[in-house]
Structure 1
Amino acid sequence: MAIPGAEAGLTPITAIALVGALGVGAQYIAWRMQLPAIVLMLVAGIVAGPVTGLLDPARDIGPLVAPIVSLAVAIILFEGGLTLNRHKLRDAAKGVRRLVFIGAPLGWLSSALALHYGAGLGWATSAVFGGIMIVTGPTVIAPLLRQARLARRPAALLQWEAIVNDPIGALAAVLAFEVVIVRHTATTAGDAAQELILGIVLATVLGLAAGYGVAMAFKRGLVPEYMKVPVLFVVLVGVFALSDAGLHESGLLAVTIMGVVIANAELPSYVEIRRFKEHATVLLVSGVFILLAASLDFAMLERLNWRAALFIGLVIGVARPLTVVISLIGTGLPWREKLLIALTGPRGVVLVAVAGLFGERLAAVGIEDGALVAPLAFALVAVTVVLHGFTLKPVAQLLGLAGSDAPGVLLVGATGWSTALAEALQKAGVLVMLTDSNRGRLRNARQLGLPTFFGDVLSEAAEHNLELAQYVRLVALTDNDAYNTLVTTDLAPEYGRDNVFQLARAKEGQARHALPATLGGRVFAQGRSFDELQALTRAGWEFRTTTLSAEYDFEKWRAERPDALLVTAIYPKGELRFPREDSSLKGGEGVQLLYFSAPKPKPQGQA
């Protein structure tokens, strides 16, 4: 039911502010409630748009809607290109390469067939929409994997497939779209071929030139550090506009190629660029999704009859499983892992954003069923996200491919103290991983049966071989204070700044050695330094655990052990707390206290 007075509309500024609030707000609530963000954004957009009439993009923002969506999709596709690094593809497992080189074209074909024979769309629309359906939703897969905690290999396959196929699906859709548009706008077949070739050549040349130009300028220091992101953004918009002026929508191809070139240029400032693309994508993806959801017409949704349900059933039950099974033939993967991957194919915001834009363009050139692309995309995304969001973990458990439910801890630096801590955490039921770049330091941990990783935690090898989604806390425990600060600073965006910890620096209290709050992690072991902990270890201190109860609470424990160093509290549901001091800890029944304390005094008369 529409809100009374909503017909008057909002001002453009108010409407854009509302779009931002709904999009980012939905993502924040989804993060707090551990729900797929896309579902909440879908609900928010539909409620604000067709249900209440509060937001009508065509009415409130007017002619700016189309260019805003086009530019946002261009930046989203550029971000997809930035994820396609040849080193990552080369280092990816054999199964990932199969899912990319065989699965992508096969998925394009099977999706187009499902659209044509299931949804009843024409071949032109099916080819365009089928291309973008290759993307399995990198923005959706990551939170689903964190929630389901799959075993490492199937989780890695699903994650890498989503990352690598993101730009490939976009390229497939763009190329198919160019062919369709040229065929419907050119007067003869010769003109169509000429216009298509010229447009693709122009987009490719612009994308390559801009990518290499930006990379060389950044490498040679021609652009100051503080201007790199603004320059990149302006060049991106300029390339999109120039290419689009030559051939309508070829700008999408140009910016995708530009992103691929920059991703493979090995820029030292790539971290800043990556942060920019991550922040921009969160804002733009949520904004585009809200705009498209608010623009939905219930009359158009009513056109989605039983054929839409047939199409979704074919995609989930036939196209996806068939693509995965054929692609993974000969990889040696167990059938359980193949089955889990075949049954997992959520689509995300990128699909809706790109498909919605292309659907409007197809309808504008006279292809009537292009108007069905947006509602079909919304329906497919809603069904797959809800389906996999609620079934992925149970299915993985049924197949024996679910990881531990307990959140894990990644310990960086294998010393005597950290190895003893890892052993104590493992005995307390906490998933733990101990890493070090010195193989000899890991020898004792391996003899104790502790999971270890040999290598630098900041290396690409660690990114590829460690399933970081299983570890919600990172603690830097090496004897090098500078390295601890580097690790926690670099990985803070990955884990969240509240979840990275390090030992206190030896000279932290001195003004000339003090670091700004933006560097380093939170205090661990209640502010003890490496040297202090090593001294306690040499004095015979050791780790112990105590479980609190109604009769034996935290105050009684502390009264009995006034000198004990409380390291962590493990709550009944597996939540970990690393207290800065005792006052920051909330004890309770069933809470395990892991602490470091002096050896128990021997009874009198014993040697």
Structure 2
Amino acid sequence: MEGFSLTLQIVIAVFAGIGAQVLGETLKVPSIVFLLLSGLLLGSEGLGLLRPSELGVGLESLVALSVAIILFEGGLNLSLRDLGRVSSSLRNLVTLGTGLTLAGGGMAAHWLGEFPWQLAFLYASLVVVTGPTVIGPLLKQVAVDKQVATLLEGEGVLIDPVGAILAVVVLDTILNSNADAVVDVLVGLALRSAIGIGLGIAGGSLLGLALRRLNFLSEDLKNLVVLAGVWGLFGLSQMLQSESGLMTTVVAGIVLRDFSVPEERMLRRFKGQLTLLCVSVLFVLLSADLSVASIVALGWGSVLTVLVLMLLVRPLSVWLCTFNSNLHWRQKLFVAWVAPKGIVSASVASLFAILLTQRGYNGGDSLKAIVFLTIMMTVFAQGLTARWVANWLQITSEEATGAVIVGCNPLGRLVGRLFQEQGESVVMIDTDPDACALAEADNLPVFQSSALNADVLHEAGIGSVGTFLAMTSNGEVNSVLAQRAVEEFQPPRVFAVLPQSMPTAANGVKTKVNSAFVARLPIKTWNQYLTEGQMKLGRTVLGGEGLSFQQAHLQALIRAGELLPLLLRRSGRLQIARATEAWQQDDELVYILHDPRPKLLKRLSGSSSTSRLALEKLPEVEEVPLAAPTDKYPPVADPQL
């Protein structure tokens, strides 16, 4: 029956953890909030259904192997190219920032929380980390600009092993107080870091070579080979030097990503799912073992300690570490505010509490209590307000402007010019030298290269623009390019002219790829219309009592293949028109209208004075006078379109 009881507890923990994740994603609230609440509700202080202490040393092993997966997945998601943009700030946060947090947190815990100096600095070593288990989900729900997201994600992943090593070194110094503390700290950090980095580089390289050469294995089996390899590297590193395994797994993940193996996407997806499961179960189990009474017994001094850590130590650390960076004050303020603690702090604190008690030191339970107090205060305060703070500081990625457009065909160049005329940056990409020459003639920046080249996309500025649009003449290629843009670079808005055989539902919310303009767009036909001058450019503002009639009228023209919506301005923001767009009151729609009349073609054949299309010069259309083409719309007379 005891075995069944333990099995039932694991089942309850999994169910509660996944339920908390679902609830967090539904309510757009960091899931760790509900994970902590679930653990407290189901633990000894609540319903008593979960008793993690009964797992014994099994809990310690579960925590260690799960954290190894979490940090490996974090390293696998780090892009060295993105890190290069914030390398100085990231290096300072992981090094100088760690020292400042250790010193500031230790002094605050001693003077305000009334902890002995040894326990005060042990606490500070545990909270120098900003776990990727919290930062990652938080940044998925609060879309901030790429530079800030990269800095926070990089710090979360890289500082976790550094913090864990530092905490172990400080604990060793406490338990062996006859040694020279400073020398012990420096030697311990250097030894564990060297073993972790060296073994991580070697192990990550071997995994990369194995994935490239074991072509006879299925993708599913390759994923499991990597999982076994990660745990093997972790175990070997731990045997060589305790607590060096975390650094090993992070470095192995970074090295493996740099190999750019073909199975990388499937591997990252598999490891992401494992990480989600591990985080869910661990947070529920660790918080279930928490004594609320021990947190209450800490008193207001510990609350003030955490507040000093959040409101004084962290902002000072960020200001010093990013002093010479190109981050503006809004970005720095957000980085200073968002530093929630995660699973590494919780798991190592739980382990240390046991070790201190076993060695006869008082204060282990208090140490665990103040660490969990820090986790709860940072998660609730920063996690619940991060979206509001990002909007207030105007650093959300939704505010990003500009576009990267793949396809220098006539329609692509027209869209690029319309964006450019509104003062937004535009970069075109194409492999066809003739099409690139025509785009350059329109004063559009062009890269003659394949959009599958990540270096070209980075140089084109995909990390900072608001829109990515794939509109080559090949719908299948557009689908691949758009999906890769979502997975690799996460632009705020991703559009593609999708193949006519692909159902509209395929570009749903989960893929984040939107079908551009209209579903099943015959792009070659519209390119021909533009080349032959058989079109007119127009704009209409939707509104008034006839909004539904306007929409019906426009949709009828779209279905007839006579009208193609291009851009939509809503609340002052210019964006690509979606195929499934539900138009709203006061939306401003920019479109092209097919007009094959011979008289118009004759007039267009000798004119080029209107080749530069300025959106602000288009006439306002009061209602929807689109029943028949009229000369109210200025013609596009550029035969090179």
Residue aligned with 2:371, SS:
helix
What are the within-5 Å matches in structure 2 for residues 112-123 of structure 1?
Answer: 112-123=106-117
Deviation per CA, 1:110-142: give whole Å up to 9, x if none.
334334444344455444543453333445445
Of the candidates 158, 164, 186, which is equivalent to residue 154 of structure 2? Answer: 164
Cα distance in 2 for residues equivalent to 1:453 and 1:120:
62
Of the candidates 28, 31, 34, which is equivalent to residue 37 of structure 1? Answer: 31
Cα distance in 2 for residues equivalent to 1:461 and 1:100:
30
In structure 2, the CA distance between the partners of 1:203 and 1:96, relative to structure 1 (3 Å rule), is closer
Deviation per CA, 1:145-192: give whole Å up to 9, x if none.
566665x4xx61x323323323432232332344345456679859x9
Q: Which residue of 2 aligns with 1:66?
A: 60
Q: Is 2:542 aligned against 1:547?
A: yes
Cα distance in 2 for residues equivalent to 1:362 and 1:425:
63
In structure 2, the CA distance between the partners of 1:413 and 1:577, relative to structure 1 (3 Å rule), is closer
Q: Contact between 2:558 and 2:564, CA under 8 Å: does it hold in 1?
A: no
Q: Which residue of 2 aligns with 1:484?
A: 478
Q: Which residue of 2 aligns with 1:302?
A: 296
What are the within-5 Å matches in structure 2 for residues 68-467 of structure 1?
Answer: 68-83=62-77, 87-92=81-86, 94-141=88-135, 152=145, 156=147, 158-180=148-170, 182-183=172-173, 207=200, 209-221=202-214, 224=217, 226=219, 227-245=221-239, 249-265=243-259, 267-331=261-325, 334-335=328-329, 337-389=331-383, 391-392=385-386, 411-421=405-415, 435-436=428-429, 443=440, 456=451, 459-460=454-455, 462=457, 466=461
Deviation at residue 390 of structure 1 after TM alignment: 5.3
Deviation at residue 70 of structure 1 after TM alignment: 2.1
Deviation per CA, 1:280-327: give whole Å up to 9, x if none.
222211221111122222222222311221111111122112112222
Q: Contact between 2:416 and 2:428, CA under 8 Å: does it hold in 1?
A: no
Residue aligned with 2:302, SS:
helix
2:225 partner amino acid: V
2:547 partner amino acid: Y
Of the candidates 589, 597, 601, which is equivalent to residue 593 of structure 2? Answer: 597
Cα distance in 2 for residues equivalent to 1:203 and 1:562:
61
Residue aligned with 1:296, SS:
coil
Structure with greater Cα Rg? 2
Cα distance in 2 for residues equivalent to 1:328 and 1:387:
23
Number of equivalenced pairs? 577
Q: Contact between 1:9 and 1:59, CA under 8 Å: does it hold in 2?
A: no
Q: Is 2:9 aligned against 1:15?
A: yes
Cα distance in 2 for residues equivalent to 1:268 and 1:174:
33
Farther off after superposition, 58-67 or 378-387: 58-67
Farther off after superposition, 489-498 or 276-285: 489-498
Residue aligned with 1:130, SS:
helix
Q: Contact between 2:409 and 2:527, CA under 8 Å: does it hold in 1?
A: no
Farther off after superposition, 352-361 or 528-537: 352-361
Of the candidates 493, 498, 519, which is equivalent to residue 526 of structure 1? Answer: 519
In structure 2, the CA distance between the partners of 1:587 and 1:569, relative to structure 1 (3 Å rule), is farther
2:50 partner amino acid: D
What are the within-5 Å matches in structure 2 for residues 44-59 of structure 1?
Answer: 44-50=38-44, 52-53=46-47, 55-58=49-52
Cα distance in 2 for residues equivalent to 1:418 and 1:106:
51
In structure 2, the CA distance between the partners of 1:393 and 1:591, relative to structure 1 (3 Å rule), is same
Q: Contact between 1:177 and 1:358, CA under 8 Å: does it hold in 2?
A: no
Deviation per CA, 1:174-225: give whole Å up to 9, x if none.
32344345456679859x9799699887766654553343233334448735
Residue aligned with 1:436, SS:
strand
1:239 partner amino acid: L
Cα distance in 1 for residues equivalent to 2:67 and 2:430:
41
Farther off after superposition, 32-41 or 385-394: 385-394
2:151 partner amino acid: E
Could you tell me the percent identity over the aligned residues?
24
In structure 2, the CA distance between the partners of 1:534 and 1:235, relative to structure 1 (3 Å rule), is same
Cα distance in 2 for residues equivalent to 1:13 and 1:445:
67
Cα distance in 2 for residues equivalent to 1:251 and 1:534:
57
Cα distance in 1 for residues equivalent to 2:469 and 2:330:
34
In structure 2, the CA distance between the partners of 1:415 and 1:545, relative to structure 1 (3 Å rule), is farther
Deviation at residue 585 of structure 1 after TM alignment: 6.5
Cα distance in 1 for residues equivalent to 2:402 and 2:98:
34
Q: Contact between 2:563 and 2:593, CA under 8 Å: does it hold in 1?
A: yes
In structure 2, the CA distance between the partners of 1:419 and 1:141, relative to structure 1 (3 Å rule), is farther
1:526 partner amino acid: A
Residue aligned with 1:119, SS:
coil
Farther off after superposition, 52-61 or 283-292: 52-61
In structure 2, the CA distance between the partners of 1:175 and 1:425, relative to structure 1 (3 Å rule), is same
